[in-house]
C-alpha cells in the first residue's frame, strides 16, 4: 500500500545550491519558499497555487483534492480537475479567506513556520502560471502537477491504511469485520458511497475520463506521479510508461510511488526495462522513484504488513545501479508513533546512500509527512521522553548539515526544518479525554492486529513496553 504524501524534493534534479547566510546556510529551495510567500501576499495572505495547478486524482473512488491535506471531494466525469467545489475554494483564497479544508497549513503558519503552501507555490512549475491565474482566477486551467492512483490493488496492509487504498485491507475487513476501536477507521460501513472504491477489475468511468483528457493534459504537464495502492500491480502504470516511451517529453518530471516489494521478479524486470528506455537523453527531464518506508528494519515490517525490508533495501540499490541516469529516489516516511525508535538509523542509512550515489547531483531524498489519521498511531500519544529520541535525530542531522564543503552528502536545511516542525506540532499535545481514548484505541487496534496477522507488538517493540501498559490503563 502506498499512501499519498506531500513531497518537496524533485523540484530540481540537480539539487539545490547552498548559500551561506548570517544565520548559517540556506538552500535554493528554502529561499524559493520565502520568495513565494512574499509574492503570494501581494495577492492574498491565503493564496496557494496548488489550488489551481496541482491535482491528486483518486480514480477508484472518483474523489479529488488539490493536495493531500484537504478532505477529498467528488469529481465530475469529464471534469476531474476544475470542479465547482475547487473553484469555490479558489475564490475564498483570492478574497483573503482561509478555507477551512486547508487547516493543516494554517496551523503550521500560526506557529511562525513556512508551510507546504509556500514550499509548493515556490516550485518553478507552480510559479510559471502566477500571472495567468491572477488575471483570471476562475478560468479553467490545465494542471502542471498531476498525481493519480488508478486503482487500489495492493499487496500490503499497512497499519494506518484502509480498504479505500488497499485491496488486501478490504479482504481482511470483509473476512474479519472492523477493528474494535472507538474511532471506526476501518469499519465496513465507513467505506460506502463516495468512499467505496470501484473494484479494480470493473469498468471505471473516471479512469476513462482520465485517458480522454490525457493527451491534452500531457502537453502542459511538468510533473506526473503515479501512486496507489501499489502501482506495480496496475496495468495503467505500464500504459503511461509506454505512452512516454512513444511520446518523449524533455521537460517532464515523471514519478512513481512504490512499496518496492513487487509481486514478482518478472514485474520488477519489466518495470526497470521501461525506465531504462525512458531515462535517456531526449526522453524526459527526470524520473523520481518514491519508496514508502516509515522507519528501519523489523519496525518498518510491522507497520507495513507484507513488507520484506531486505527485499526493499536490495531493490533500492538495484534501482540506483540499473537506472543511473536522470533518476533520483525519495523515501516517504509517514511519521507515526511506531517510527520514532528507528528514525535515526533510517536517517543514517539515507546519509550513507547519499555519500555513495549522489556525486554529480542529488539522487537520494526523503520527506517526513506527519501521520494524523488514524489518531491512535499519532506521535502525540507518546510520552515526552520520546521527543528526546526525535531531538537526537534532529541533532544528528544538524551535525551532518549540507554545506559547500560536503555538497550533496549532508542533510538539507529544509529537511531539518521539517523534523523541527514535526516536533513543534507534537508538543501541542492533546486534550486529556482525547489522549485517553486514542491510547485505548492503540491497544485495542494492535492487540487485534497481532491476533489477525500473527505478529507480536511487544516482541517487535520491547522498548515500548511501558507505553503499552500506559495505553492499556487509559
Q: What is the pLDDT of residues 113-160, one digit of tens each?
A: 899 999 989 988 889 899 999 999 999 999 999 999 999 999 999 999
In this prediction, residue 10 carries a pLDDT of 45
Bridge partners for 223 per DSSP: 145, 253
Distance CA(425)–CA(207), nearest Å, equals: 37
In this prediction, residue 18 carries a pLDDT of 56
Does residue 7 surpass a pLDDT of 50?
no
Does residue 300 surpass a pLDDT of 80?
yes
Can you tell me the mean pLDDT for 414-424? 93
Q: Per the structure block, which three cell numbers stand in for 64?
A: 479529488
Does residue 192 surpass a pLDDT of 90?
no
Residue 13: CB atoms within 10 Å = 16
Q: Per the structure block, which three cell numbers stand in for 342?
A: 528507528
The number of angstroms, rounded, from the C-alpha of 76 to the middle of its chain's C-alpha atoms is 25
156, HSE (Cβ side, Cα atoms, 13 Å): 30
In this prediction, residue 111 carries a pLDDT of 87
Give the lowest-confidence range in 13-17, 58-62, 305-309, 455-459. 13-17
Distance CA(317)–CA(96), nearest Å, equals: 47
In this prediction, residue 17 carries a pLDDT of 59
In this prediction, residue 159 carries a pLDDT of 97
Residue with grid cell 501498559, as numbered in its chain: 469
Can you tell me the mean pLDDT for 439-466? 98
pLDDT digits (tens, 9 = 90+) for 356-408: 999 999 999 999 999 999 999 999 999 999 999 999 999 999 999 999 999 99
Asked if residue 374 has a cis previous peptide bond (ω within 30° of 0), the answer is yes
In this prediction, residue 164 carries a pLDDT of 85
Give the lowest-confidence range in 71-75, 259-263, 287-291, 326-330. 71-75
Asked if residue 229 has a cis previous peptide bond (ω within 30° of 0), the answer is yes
In this prediction, residue 2 carries a pLDDT of 36
In this prediction, residue 366 carries a pLDDT of 96
In this prediction, residue 253 carries a pLDDT of 96
Tell me the domain boundaries of the chain: 18-147
263-292 in b/e form (b: 16+ CB < 10 A) is: eeeeebeebeebbeebbeeebbebbbbbbb
DSSP letter for 376, please.
Answer: G
Does residue 91 surpass a pLDDT of 60?
yes
Residues sharing a CB contact under 8 Å with residue 362, sequence separation 6 or more, in sequence order: 13, 14, 15, 16, 328, 354, 408
pLDDT digits (tens, 9 = 90+) for 332-361: 999 999 999 999 999 999 999 999 999 999
In this prediction, residue 4 carries a pLDDT of 35
Percent of the chain with pLDDT over 90: 80
313, HSE (Cβ side, Cα atoms, 13 Å): 15
In this prediction, residue 23 carries a pLDDT of 56
**Whole-model pTM?**
0.86
Mean pLDDT across the chain, nearest whole number?
Answer: 91
208 sits in which H/E element: helix 205-220
Does residue 291 surpass a pLDDT of 60?
yes
Residue 199, sorted as left (phi over 0), alpha (psi -120 to 50) or beta, turns out to be beta
Residue with grid cell 533495501, as numbered in its chain: 313
Amino acid at each position: 500500500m502506498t499512501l499519498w504524501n506531500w513531497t518537496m524534493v524533485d523540484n530540481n534534479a540537480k539539487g539545490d545550491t547552498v548559500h551561506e547566510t548570517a544565520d548559517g546556510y540556506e538552500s535554493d529551495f528554502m529561499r524559493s519558499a520565502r520568495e513565494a510567500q512574499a509574492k503570494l501576499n501581494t495577492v492574498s495572505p491565503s493564496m496557494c497555487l496548488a489550488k489551481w495547478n496541482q491535482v491528486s486524482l483518486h480514480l477508484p473512488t472518483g474523489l479529488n483534492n488539490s493536495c493531500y491535506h484537504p478532505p477529498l471531494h467528488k469529481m465530475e466525469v469529464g471534469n476531474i480537475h476544475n470542479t465547482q467545489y475547487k473553484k469555490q475554494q479558489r475564490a475564498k483564497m483570492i478574497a483573503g479567506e482561509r478555507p477551512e479544508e486547508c487547516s493543516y497549513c494554517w496551523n503550521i503558519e500560526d506557529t511562525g513556520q513556512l508551510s507546504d503552501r509556500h514550499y509548493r507555490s515556490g516550485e518553478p512549475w507552480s510559479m510559471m502560471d502566477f500571472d495567468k491565474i491572477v488575471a483570471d482566477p476562475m478560468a479553467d486551467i490545465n494542471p502542471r502537477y498531476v498525481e493519480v492512483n488508478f486503482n487500489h490493488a495492493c499487496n500490503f496492509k499497512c497499519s494506518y491504511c484502509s480498504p479505500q487504498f488497499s485491496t488486501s485491507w478490504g479482504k481482511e475487513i470483509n473476512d474479519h469485520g472492523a477493528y474494535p476501536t472507538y474511532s471506526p477507521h476501518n469499519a465496513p460501513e465507513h467505506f460506502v458511497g463516495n468512499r467505496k472504491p470501484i473494484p479494480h477489475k470493473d469498468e471505471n468511468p473516471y479512469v476513462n475520463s482520465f485517458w480522454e483528457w490525457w493527451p491534452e493534459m500531457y502537453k502542459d504537464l511538468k510533473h506526473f506521479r503515479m501512486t496507489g495502492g501499489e502501482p506495480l500491480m496496475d496495468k495503467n502504470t505500464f500504459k503511461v510508461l509506454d505512452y512516454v516511451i512513444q511520446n518523449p517529453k524533455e521537460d517532464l518530471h515523471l514519478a512513481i510511488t512504490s512499496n518496492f516489494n513487487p509481486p514478482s521478479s518478472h514485474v520488477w524486470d519489466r518495470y526497470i526495462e521501461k525506465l531504462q528506455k525512458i531515462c535517456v537523453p531526449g526522453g524526459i527531464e527526470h524520473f523520481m522513484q518514491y519508496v514508502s518506508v516509515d522507519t528501519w528494519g523489523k519496525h518498518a515490517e510491522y507497520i507495513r504488513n507484507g513488507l520484506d525490508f531486505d527485499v526493499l533495501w536490495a531493490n533500492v540499490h538495484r534501482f540506483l545501479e540499473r537506472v543511473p541516469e536522470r533518476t533520483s529516489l525519495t523515501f516517504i516516511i509517514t511519521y507515526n508513533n511506531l517510527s520514532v525508535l528507528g528514525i535515526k538509523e533510517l536517517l543514517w542509512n539515507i546519509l550513507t546512500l547519499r555519500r555513495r550515489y549522489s556525486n554529480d547531483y542529488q539522487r537520494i531524498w526523503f520527506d517526513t509527512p506527519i501521520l494524523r489519521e488514524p489518531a491512535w498511531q499519532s506521535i502525540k500519544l507518546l510520552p515526552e521522553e520520546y521527543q528526546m529520541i526525535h531531538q537526537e535525530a534532529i541533532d544528528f542531522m544538524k551535525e551532518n548539515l549540507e554545506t559547500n564543503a560536503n555538497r550533496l552528502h549532508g542533510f538539507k536545511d529544509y529537511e531539518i526544518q521539517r523534523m523541527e516542525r514535526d516536533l513543534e506540532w507534537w508538543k501541542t499535545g492533546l486534550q486529556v479525554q482525547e489522549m485517553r481514548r486514542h491510547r485505548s484505541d492503540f491497544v485495542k487496534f494492535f492487540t487485534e492486529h497481532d491476533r489477525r496477522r500473527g505478529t507480536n507488538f511487544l516482541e517487535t517493540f520491547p522498548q515500548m513496553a511501558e507505553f503499552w501498559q500506559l495505553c492499556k490503563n487509559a
